[in-house]
Structure 1
Amino acid sequence: MPSIVAPFVQRGMRPLFRVALCSQLIWPMLAFAYTPYDEMVLDARAGHYTPALTALRQVPPGQATTSQISDHLQIASWAGLDAEVIKVYETQGRALDLPIAALTATARAYRNQKRWDDASRVYNKALAIEPDNQELKLGLALTQADSSKPDQAVTSARALVAAQPNDVSRRMALGYALNRAGKQYDSLFEYDQAFVRSGNDPQVAREYVGAMQRAHLPEPALRLARQRPGLIDPVTIRHLEGDLAAERVRLAEMPTRSESERYVIADRALADYDKLISTWSSDPQAHDDVIRWRIDRMGALKARSRTAEVISEHHKLQAEGVEVPTYAQRWVAASYLDQREPEIATDMYREILLKPDADPSNRLLDTTALYYALLESGEAAEARTVAEELAKTQKPRVELKGLPGGNPNDEWMDAQQLAAQAGTYSSDLPHGEERLQALVEQAPGNVSLRVAQADLYLARGWPRLAESKLKEAEAMAPRDVNLEIAQGHTATDLQEWRQVDALTDDVVARSPDNRQVQRLQRQREVHDMFELRVEAFGGKTYGGDDDNVGAVNGSKDFGIETVLYSPPIGEDWRVFAGAGYAEGDFQEGTGTHDFQRVGLERRTRDLTLEAEISNHSYGFGSKQGARLAFAHDINDYWQYGASLEYFAAATPLRALNSDITANGGSGFIRWRANESREWKFALSPSHFSDGNDRVEALLTGREGIYTAPNVQVDLGLEVGASHNSLSEDVPYYNPKSDLSVLPMVSVNHMLYQRYETRWSQQFQAGAGTYTQKYHSTGGMALLGYGQRYSWNDVVEVGGMLSAINRPYDGERETDLRLMVDLTFRF
């Protein structure tokens, strides 16, 4: 962060060398050889300069002696009349052999007037007379420090200190030279040494306070100033108090063991600023300081996560016409990003990065913030470009003097990590995985890289692999907040609910205002809610037999089903209850089906179980049913499952309309390579109450063929086959055997995405064949369009309108169908 401490006002070193002027005034007993003049000289030494200067000014220039000119130079110097000293020297004394005291006074006058070359020339003239005069050497060194030769001044002053290390004036002269050379901490050391040797001297203590302030150590400087009332003027005290508050702002932005520790520091800074502002707001002379404190106070508010107040104060300052400096604009931009206004944050970070006074050391942080602002604005492609450009600008190693190979550059690693992670959010997961793996191999001890790698594995659907990587990182930094957040998300995917609770509780206690922590907490809250699922469908069939009635669904059909799940009980269990209704128009008449069900669900690591009982009313009384189902994850790639049903839910409504029920079961095995490749095979036997035995097989798969930040295109395949033991004299569609092959293309397009709100549209198109025994093979075609919307993790709704044209028993039908689903958590 750029320094927000006002530079300490440079103090002159004049008091150090006034003693050099206290030499005897030896005037020849000519025009002023009488007692009143002697008294005027004594008065001048005591600080009453006017009588002596008046007398000396009355001496005609051409008649003044060397001694008179020397006295004039010295007394005018005591009076602080530098311009008069220079005038007398240049008009009367330049060609004379003046004594050392007069030359010293003249050199100092030139220095005070910032005429460095003239001052150096006079000091060198004096040193030619007395080459070992230490006071002259000090004066020359200070002049060099004030001019454009601070390095020469440091060299000269060091030689003087080496000759007499305990001489306080030499230590202070060296400290002054070092400060002018921009070496504030080396300067502080010399002032500290002077203070150790002569701390009771007010001038030494005053310069020591200034050195501490210039070295950004306001707390000890203020403590010393308060121990000695009157040592420092009230304005400087005020500046020191502001500097101390600013230092606490900087400390509050640094990493600590917990958010609470940072908050303690930030709260101290806020208390300091509130006291300063209330004390000095009414003082017009403190106006600039008050504005500075209000600006710096935004940093404490930002560290305290009171980002709405940061934005409010920024608006007030803008309304007052205050130009907010770049370092404070960074706090404002971060606050907008925290308040979920990424578009404003994006514009601000762009401006900040182009500011000529922007601190280069903040470039990585500001560019990273710009990346996330773009990402949260929905500009994933542009965000990736920013990350890639940043990665190109960083060098892998930092070149250091005396170290030929240099040192590894942490900023290069951070930039490379950001670029690799950008692939995750721009749907280029394979490339991101490859880059992160290469970085982990280069820096196996980097916990941040391990966490990023685990997040990518989680995005690819590999929670167990993510878990193992996080366990490796846990050995290096078991209490890292970002690590625990990643472990919490991984545990959620693995249905390790007790781990989720333990990890979430820990990070919430340590970092309650961390947005990622809040996100994990929100996901747990949603998991602990009631869950309502609603599915509805409706269809209309065109074509078919002579009565224009569809062979499977009838001429038109409608259905709705709702299921309500309870919050988790004992972490793993949920009870559920539901009801539904379906109807369809067939040749035999309108069929209806009312059903209710209640059951129990258990979700644990690798296993999901469901058991339910149901009641069915379909025009022939009521009948009870039951279902038992499970799904087991073998690893991140393989899953299998099975179910058994008494009164199977998949019994065709047309069969129920003729009082024919079915019992059955199913089994499946699924292979999921990653987010864009998946295949599943299911086998479902069933037995109908009319004696028919049916076996159905279904193979489905998809392959991702194109991905972009807002578009995903999959090539899918659906192959279905069935066999029935009865094929004639049954009222429902029951081919002896059939086979359907339907390749299709699916497109998912994200229309809008902002945090937990998403809106997308889906397209489907397919063309294949349908083969039925005793009938010729016919073509199949599918078109579909749908949309989905989700909000705040608790609402998700979607709908799909599809049309499929295919033959049944040799008769071609077109089935127009609308399906809607809703999930609501509360």
Structure 2
Amino acid sequence: MSRPTAQPVASSLAAALILAMFLPAKLTAAGLDDAQAESRYAAEMAHAAALSDQKRWVDALAIYERLHTQTPQEPDVYHRRVMTLADLGSASLAWSLHQARPELFSDAERARLSADRIARLTVWGGFRPLDEPRRLQDMQRAADARASGTGALEPDPSAPLRQGFDDLVILNGLERHQETASRYRQMRADGVDIPPYALAAAGDSLLALRQPEASIEALEDAAAELPDDIDTQVVLAYAYLESERHADALRHLQQIAANEPAWPQTEDVRVGYRNWNRYSADSNLAMIRAYSEDPAGAQAMLAPMTRLAPSNPDLQAKLGIVLLQRGWEDQALERFDIAHTQDPRNLEARIGQVNALVAQQRMDRAATVHGALLDTYPDNVHVQRLDRQWRAGTGAQVEIAATRGRSEGQNRTASTSPLGTDDGGYAVSVYSPLLGDRWRVGAFREDRWAEYEGPRVHNRRHGVGLRYAHDRLDLDARVARSNDGFDDATSLALDAGWRFSEVLEGRASIERNSADASLQARASGIGADTIALGLDWTPDERTALSGELRQWRYDDGNRREGFALSGQRRLRVEPRFAVALEGDLYASRSSRDDAPYFNPGRDAGWNLAAAVDSIHWRRYDHAFSQRFAAGVGQYWQEGFGSAVIPNLQYRHNWQLGTGRQLDYGLTWSRPVYDGARETRLSFDIALRWGGN
């Protein structure tokens, strides 16, 4: 924000003495005659003017105040006193005194005093209020003062440029970002040289409008001229981040931190003082690292700072964000609650509370905090983003999926695969928006089919479902009916999950006439029930391990039992690139060996793959990425020995906005069944609408 500049009223003692000859007589308390009073008055006025020339405005004001007390109606003293107050930065008082005797001031002086007052109100509007209901009150006062009763901040081509610059700051402070951006672009088109403080406001609004490249253009110029304005420097770093220039964002804040000692000292002071610029650079550098796929590094920076300053709500909230990124929602919520208790106005803490509560499936409390945020910050870009995620997560959920595969024996002979020579299917499900913060109702239809030596075998079913999720428990109950002519029956299923902790979750499922049963068995009119128990362990954002025990109870009396274990470890993670090691192993056995479907007495296998994920394009909630994975494993079947099984996978993923995703890919492998090598190629595609 620009500050008032000095306007000396007189430049020399001689000029003041000449002017004094024409001034009316002054009365003094010392009983001086008129000539003596005139001479002393002229001398003091000239001395005050000289002090103003030296920018010693406090000393000059002391003289004007004394003279004003002696001669309160003297216009020249009143005028100079007001203008000196303006030079000192007392913009509101100067404007108030001007309003009492406006005839003493020129149009130019009136414009300057008005601009100073608006500038001061704007500065006050940029500070945090004592309570949220008055969040924009001071900035609105600046807007009202600028509007001068018109009720709108309309651009005035005839007004001084400073007025237009201050408008950028006011509009930005009122979160009227589109208007700020439009005014800024018009100024640029008109060739106006915009001062740094106005560029900073315009850059912030452009970033809020998700135009980071234009924001960088404004902020780089502002940051170069305002090296000590840490807020502008930090906003520039986030503009780099949001334009996918992660390295530039990190480098920018690292350079600032390197140039800002934590405890600066001066020659005459032995004990340094706290450097808040360094704190801001360090804490935001940690967040840039977190948003650049390095939450562990961010935690390593923030945790020691939090131990040093446990009462700092900003640090508590930032650490909470990082903990939530690492998958530790319980610890994150604890930090957010601490930050909110320390400072109820902390926006990061309140947004973090919503995200952590959603992760904990405590939607009732999350809805309360979310609603309060919308009421208080309806135009805030971070709250608007949270609301988009909220509406996607609590709205209707739709999923459409399809698969198609083909298996061939060696030399293109007919396949003996349990999947059939050709196989495929589709599934469609639609579930309602969240009801009562816990429930969803929906319907689904699906069809799995495969071609063996006989006619194509189908498993067509349609049904309804009921989902429940609250706190540690989630349930999914389904009722379906098959109508494919092979094994018409009613299916009942219940899946349950229990969150033991933020890193450990248990699963259990039971299904009558399971959709997971063998299609080969179905071709013979044989169905199966299933029961399963599983555990999922995710100690951090890079590691996941899942295990499951499952039993199939076929109608022919066969009992098949299997154990599966799968895991993933992300070895290298960068903002647009990740390498992971994935593996799985399993073993199974059956109670009979004469079933009319693929049913090894005992078998086992393992697979190990390296997967590379790369993001080729990303723009906020929209992105395109691809995955390539190559693996090798071994399969052993009782009576047939073991064989090496290679496999390849290639996939595309499109993020189509908040809660909308399209995913598809090809998978190739060389499995072995009953000792016979086959080649399998499959394609799958899924569109998901709803959820986060």
Is 1:590 matched with 2:456? yes
Q: Using the alignment, how far apart are the partners of 2:81 and 2:43 within structure 1? A: 14
5 Å-filtered alignment, 1:203-222, equals 203-222=76-95
Q: Using the alignment, how far apart are the partners of 2:541 and 2:461 within structure 1? A: 36
Is 1:326 matched with 2:199? no
Question: Which position in structure 1 is the counterpart of 2:72?
Answer: 199
Q: Using the alignment, how far apart are the partners of 1:179 and 1:667 within structure 2? A: 85
Query: The residue matched to 2:545 in structure 1 has which SS?
Result: strand
Residue-by-residue CA offset, 1:737-795 (whole Å, 9 max, x unaligned) = 11111011111111122111121111111011111100121001110000111122131
- Report the Cα offset of residue 196 of structure 1: 3.7
Q: Using the alignment, how far apart are the partners of 1:724 and 1:573 within structure 2? A: 38
Is 1:344 matched with 2:214? yes
- Report the Cα offset of residue 7 of structure 1: 4.2
CA contact (8 A) 2:10 2:46 kept: no
CA separation of 1:300 and 1:766: change in aligned 2, threshold 3 A = same
Structure 1 unmatched runs, 5+: 23-44, 48-134, 140-166
Q: Percent identity, aligned pairs only?
A: 23
Query: The residue matched to 1:777 in structure 2 has which SS?
Result: strand
Q: Using the alignment, how far apart are the partners of 1:239 and 1:532 within structure 2? A: 60
Residue-by-residue CA offset, 1:524-583 (whole Å, 9 max, x unaligned) = 222231110122111011116995124221111110011111111111111121001121
Query: The residue matched to 1:365 in structure 2 has which SS?
Result: helix
Question: Which position in structure 1 is the counterpart of 2:394?
Answer: 528
CA separation of 1:255 and 1:588: change in aligned 2, threshold 3 A = same
Q: Using the alignment, how far apart are the partners of 1:347 and 1:19 within structure 2? A: 54
Question: Which position in structure 2 is the counterpart of 1:18?
Answer: 17
Residue-by-residue CA offset, 1:500-544 (whole Å, 9 max, x unaligned) = 111112222222211111122222222231110122111011116
CA separation of 1:378 and 1:550: change in aligned 2, threshold 3 A = farther
5 Å-filtered alignment, 1:317-466, equals 317-354=187-224, 358-362=225-229, 364-399=230-265, 403-466=269-332
5 Å-filtered alignment, 1:185-334, equals 185=58, 187-257=60-130, 261-275=134-148, 287=158, 289-334=159-204
Q: Using the alignment, how far apart are the partners of 2:250 and 2:415 within structure 1? A: 54
Q: Using the alignment, how far apart are the partners of 2:78 and 2:266 within structure 1? A: 37
Q: Using the alignment, how far apart are the partners of 2:650 and 2:23 within structure 1? A: 102
CA separation of 1:571 and 1:177: change in aligned 2, threshold 3 A = same
CA contact (8 A) 1:451 1:470 kept: yes
Question: Which position in structure 2 is the counterpart of 1:600?
Answer: 466
Question: Which position in structure 2 is the counterpart of 1:8?
Answer: 7
Q: Of residues 604, 607, 610 in structure 2, which corresponds to 1:742?
A: 607
Residue-by-residue CA offset, 1:84-125 (whole Å, 9 max, x unaligned) = xxxxxxxxxxxxxxxxxxxxxxxxxxxxxxxxxxxxxxxxxx
Q: Of residues 632, 643, 668 in structure 2, which corresponds to 1:778?
A: 643
Structure 2 unmatched runs, 5+: 25-34
Residue-by-residue CA offset, 1:308-349 (whole Å, 9 max, x unaligned) = 222222233333332222221112211211111101111222
5 Å-filtered alignment, 1:162-181, equals 176=49, 178-181=51-54
Q: Of residues 672, 687, 691 in structure 1, which corresponds to 2:553?
A: 687
Q: Using the alignment, how far apart are the partners of 2:263 and 2:346 within structure 1? A: 26
Two-structure CA RMSD over aligned residues (Å)? 3.0
Larger Cα-atom Rg: 1
Residue 749 of structure 1 aligns to which amino acid in structure 2?
A: S
Question: Which position in structure 1 is the counterpart of 2:680?
Answer: 815
Q: Of residues 664, 667, 677 in structure 2, which corresponds to 1:799?
A: 664
Q: Using the alignment, how far apart are the partners of 1:282 and 1:652 within structure 2? A: 73
5 Å-filtered alignment, 1:75-86, equals none
- Report the Cα offset of residue 219 of structure 1: 2.5
Query: The residue matched to 1:765 in structure 2 has which SS?
Result: strand
Residue 552 of structure 2 aligns to which amino acid in structure 1?
A: S
CA separation of 1:796 and 1:21: change in aligned 2, threshold 3 A = closer
CA separation of 1:309 and 1:724: change in aligned 2, threshold 3 A = same
Q: Using the alignment, how far apart are the partners of 1:366 and 1:472 within structure 2? A: 28
CA contact (8 A) 1:631 1:639 kept: yes
Q: Using the alignment, how far apart are the partners of 2:179 and 2:369 within structure 1? A: 30
- Report the Cα offset of residue 20 of structure 1: 11
Q: Of residues 540, 557, 568 in structure 1, which corresponds to 2:406?
A: 540
Q: Using the alignment, how far apart are the partners of 2:553 and 2:487 within structure 1? A: 20
Q: Using the alignment, how far apart are the partners of 2:578 and 2:122 within structure 1? A: 46
- Report the Cα offset of residue 585 of structure 1: 0.5
CA separation of 1:193 and 1:595: change in aligned 2, threshold 3 A = farther
Query: The residue matched to 1:375 in structure 2 has which SS?
Result: helix
CA contact (8 A) 2:286 2:301 kept: yes
Q: Using the alignment, how far apart are the partners of 1:282 and 1:570 within structure 2? A: 49
Query: The residue matched to 1:739 in structure 2 has which SS?
Result: strand
CA separation of 1:409 and 1:783: change in aligned 2, threshold 3 A = same
Is 1:727 matched with 2:597? no
CA contact (8 A) 2:481 2:488 kept: yes
Query: The residue matched to 1:371 in structure 2 has which SS?
Result: helix
CA separation of 1:690 and 1:345: change in aligned 2, threshold 3 A = same
CA contact (8 A) 2:8 2:53 kept: no
CA contact (8 A) 1:781 1:805 kept: yes
5 Å-filtered alignment, 1:644-723, equals 644-723=510-589
5 Å-filtered alignment, 1:461-610, equals 461-543=327-409, 548-610=414-476
Is 1:766 matched with 2:620? no
Query: The residue matched to 1:368 in structure 2 has which SS?
Result: helix
- Report the Cα offset of residue 302 of structure 1: 1.4
**Total equivalences in the alignment:** 679
Q: Using the alignment, how far apart are the partners of 1:509 and 1:6 within structure 2? A: 41
Residue 460 of structure 1 aligns to which amino acid in structure 2?
A: R
Q: Using the alignment, how far apart are the partners of 2:543 and 2:466 within structure 1? A: 32
CA contact (8 A) 2:570 2:578 kept: yes
Residue 84 of structure 2 aligns to which amino acid in structure 1?
A: A
CA contact (8 A) 1:611 1:627 kept: yes
Q: Using the alignment, how far apart are the partners of 1:189 and 1:501 within structure 2? A: 58
CA separation of 1:318 and 1:620: change in aligned 2, threshold 3 A = closer
Residue-by-residue CA offset, 1:676-716 (whole Å, 9 max, x unaligned) = 11111100011101111100110001111111111111111
Question: Which position in structure 1 is the counterpart of 2:31?
Answer: none
Residue 17 of structure 2 aligns to which amino acid in structure 1?
A: R
- Report the Cα offset of residue 170 of structure 1: 7.7
CA separation of 1:399 and 1:174: change in aligned 2, threshold 3 A = farther
CA contact (8 A) 2:439 2:466 kept: yes
CA separation of 1:588 and 1:189: change in aligned 2, threshold 3 A = farther
Query: The residue matched to 1:298 in structure 2 has which SS?
Result: helix
- Report the Cα offset of residue 614 of structure 1: 1.2
Q: Using the alignment, how far apart are the partners of 1:710 and 1:19 within structure 2? A: 76
CA contact (8 A) 1:655 1:661 kept: yes
CA contact (8 A) 1:376 1:755 kept: yes
- Report the Cα offset of residue 369 of structure 1: 1.1
Higher relative contact order (CA 8 A, sep 6+): 2
Query: The residue matched to 2:364 in structure 1 has which SS?
Result: helix
CA contact (8 A) 2:530 2:550 kept: yes
Question: Which position in structure 2 is the counterpart of 1:130?
Answer: none
Normalising by structure 1, we get a TM-score of: 0.77
CA separation of 1:822 and 1:187: change in aligned 2, threshold 3 A = farther
